[in-house]
Amino acid sequence: MASLVVVGLQWGDEGKGKVVDILAGFADLVVRFQGGANAGHTLKVEGEEVVTHLVPSGVLHPGKRCAIGPAVVLDPEQLLLEVDVLQAKGRLSEPDSLMVSNRAHVVMPYHKQLDGAREQASGSAKIGTTLRGIGPCLEDKMSRSGIRVCDLMDSDLLTERVTSRLAEVNALLAHYGSDAVKADELLHLLRAQADRLRPFIGDVGELVRTELSRGRPVLFEGAQGVMLDVDHGTYPFVTSSNTVAGAVCAGLGLAPGRLSSVMGVAKAYSTRVGEGPFPTEMGDERGIRLQKAGGEVGATTGRPRRCGWLDLAALRYAVSVGGCTSLCLTKLDVLSGLGPLKVAVAYELDGERIESMPADAMLYRRIKPVYEELEGWDETLGEVRELSDLPAPVRRYLDFVSNFVNVPVAMVSVGPSRSETIMVQNPFRNR
């Protein structure tokens, strides 16, 4: 049995999509297990660029199956948009190449409307969400008023559930001064989407359990990153799901022992989109240089990403929460020519050194990172394919990170394309 979970270790956008695209080559099935269309993954393969939000990043491998699990919140409009784009490119042509869980909760237009209305009403206290309706949809799931993919398939039940839900939703929208939703218009839209979704729908938990029992390698694709986890991240400036590897088990209905390895993906520096604590954020012109060099613009919202030094204190925490058996460091090429490189190894709170992550987001205003400085490099790295061919300061940077978090580096990414990768060891076999 081989299963590998890939999770982001920072604030998202670590390059998980690229990593999953490569690792999909070793798997039979690639499964998204949490989050929703708040995710944005850019894949570059043989000159072609594809951006996915819901479709798993294994989609560019012909003959591999992809699945969207029960704990993913599914926006039918976004999924169908991606399916159209991929099919126009000659992808997803096999009927069973994508399965969508019948248990997944549906992101309704009113979830997106509420997300936007709340953010606007919050003013300077806003979270800076992706406005994809993630929070409101997951609230409905937890309060047991959500509408699931299986409900879309039963027209009478759908009418009943939507009509009853809209009573409260429209009162909430009115509270924010937002337009009421008309039941007949929404139902018309949902029925049309349901017809198109029907061929993709199935029991994804069952599919995964069966594949694992048959000894087939399964790859689980995480979205966001550990620091955005609703329980373990910088609450309330987080997303509304668990982003840690453990979420695979609850999300898909798998016993914990069925996961053999976890790869954590981290950028060689840090970025964050949206509001919230970011201890190593660069306030200077180097941050802007990094943003330009790394193309740090959100794939989902087009917002510039905030940039900062690598935060090893946060990374060590994320590794321990995520239980990583291997590490992939991405975007090392972006650091070329930046001069000496700072890495945060701890924080100072009111003059005292702390090694753990504060629970209270407000405390982050008072903490200062404790930095060590490592030698930088000027060489371009995009052509390097072997660890031993990397310039010595790059290898020392990698070793420093790996030793600090006590996890071996299994992959290094030196450019956005599939080929710009150094494979150190197969992370499927790394326990």
Catalytic residues: 13, 41
Q: Which amino acid belongs to residue 246?
A: G
Kindly tell me which of 37 and 407 has the beta carbon lying closer to ligand IMO.
37
According to the binding rule CB under 6 A, does residue 127 interact with ligand IMO?
Answer: yes
According to the binding rule CB under 6 A, does residue 20 interact with ligand IMO?
Answer: no
239 makes contact, choosing from ligand GDP, Mg ion, ligand IMO, none, with CB < 5 to 8 Å by partner type, with ligand IMO
CB 296, min distance to ligand IMO, A: 11
For ligand IMO, the binding residue among 97, 178, 224, 430 (CB under 6 A) is 224
Please report which residue ranges of 24-108 form alpha helices under DSSP H.
Answer: 76-88
Q: Are 372 and 324 in contact (CB under 8 A)?
A: no
Angstrom distance (rounded) from CA 388 to CA 384: 9
Q: Quote the distance between the C-alpha of residue 249 and its chain's center.
A: 17
According to the binding rule CB under 5 A, does residue 40 interact with Mg ion?
Answer: yes
Q: Which amino acid belongs to residue 186?
A: L
For ligand GDP, the binding residue among 1, 28, 42, 109 (CB under 6 A) is 42
* Torsion-angle region of 323 (φ positive above 0: left; ψ -120 to 50: alpha; else: beta): left
DSSP string covering 100-150, please? EETTPEE--HHHHHHHHHHHHHHGGG-----SSSHHHHHHHHHTT---BHH
101 makes contact, choosing from ligand GDP, Mg ion, ligand IMO, none, with CB < 5 to 8 Å by partner type, with none
Query: Which of 41, 64, 178 lies closest to 120 in space, CA to CA?
Result: 178
Kindly tell me which of 115 and 296 has the beta carbon lying closer to ligand GDP.
296
For ligand IMO, the binding residue among 18, 132, 267, 316 (CB under 6 A) is 132
* Residue 255 vs residues 44, 249, 371: alpha-carbon distances, Å: 34, 6, 40
Q: Are 47 and 78 in contact (CB under 8 A)?
A: no
Angstrom distance (rounded) from CA 423 to CA 412: 7
DSSP string covering 189-234, please? HHHHHHHHHGGGEE-HHHHHHHHHHTT--EEEE--S-GGG-TTTSS
According to the binding rule CB under 6 A, does residue 415 interact with ligand GDP?
Answer: yes
Kindly tell me which of 13 and 140 has the beta carbon lying closer to Mg ion.
13
Beta-bridge partner residues of 374: 341
According to the binding rule CB under 6 A, does residue 413 interact with ligand IMO?
Answer: no
According to the binding rule CB under 6 A, does residue 36 interact with ligand GDP?
Answer: no
Angstrom distance (rounded) from CA 115 to CA 130: 9
251 makes contact, choosing from ligand IMO, Mg ion, ligand GDP, none, with CB < 5 to 8 Å by partner type, with none
> Which residues between 267 and 286 bind ligand IMO (CB under 6 A)?
273-274
Q: Are 368 and 347 in contact (CB under 8 A)?
A: yes
Summary count for the chain: helices (H), strands (E)? 12, 20
CB 335, min distance to ligand GDP, A: 10
Q: Which amino acid belongs to residue 230?
A: V
Helix (H) or strand (E) holding 344: strand 341-349
Pick the piece of the chain touching ligand GDP (CB under 6 A) from 203-211, 247-255, 318-326, 412-420: 412-420
> Which residues between 46 and 65 bind ligand IMO (CB under 6 A)?
none
228 makes contact, choosing from ligand IMO, ligand GDP, Mg ion, none, with CB < 5 to 8 Å by partner type, with ligand IMO
> Which residues between 326 and 345 bind ligand GDP (CB under 6 A)?
330-331, 333-334
Angstrom distance (rounded) from CA 153 to CA 52: 25
Angstrom distance (rounded) from CA 205 to CA 425: 29
Three-state DSSP class for residue 94:
coil
Q: For ligand IMO, what does the binding mask look like between residues 231 and 270, x meaning CB under 6 A?
A: --------xx------------------------------
330 makes contact, choosing from ligand IMO, Mg ion, ligand GDP, none, with CB < 5 to 8 Å by partner type, with ligand GDP
Kindly tell me which of 13 and 333 has the beta carbon lying closer to Mg ion.
13
Kindly tell me which of 139 and 281 has the beta carbon lying closer to ligand GDP.
281
For ligand IMO, the binding residue among 4, 5, 7, 12 (CB under 6 A) is 12
Q: Are 245 and 30 in contact (CB under 8 A)?
A: no
Q: For ligand GDP, what does the binding mask look like between residues 289 and 328, x meaning CB under 6 A?
A: -----xx---x-----------------------------
DSSP 424: -
Q: Which residues bind ligand GDP (CB under 6 A)?
A: 8, 12-18, 39-42, 44, 294-295, 299, 330-331, 333-334, 413-416
Q: Which residues bind Mg ion (CB under 5 A)?
A: 13, 40
Q: Which residues bind ligand IMO (CB under 6 A)?
A: 8, 11-13, 38-41, 127-130, 132, 134-135, 223-224, 228, 239-240, 273-274
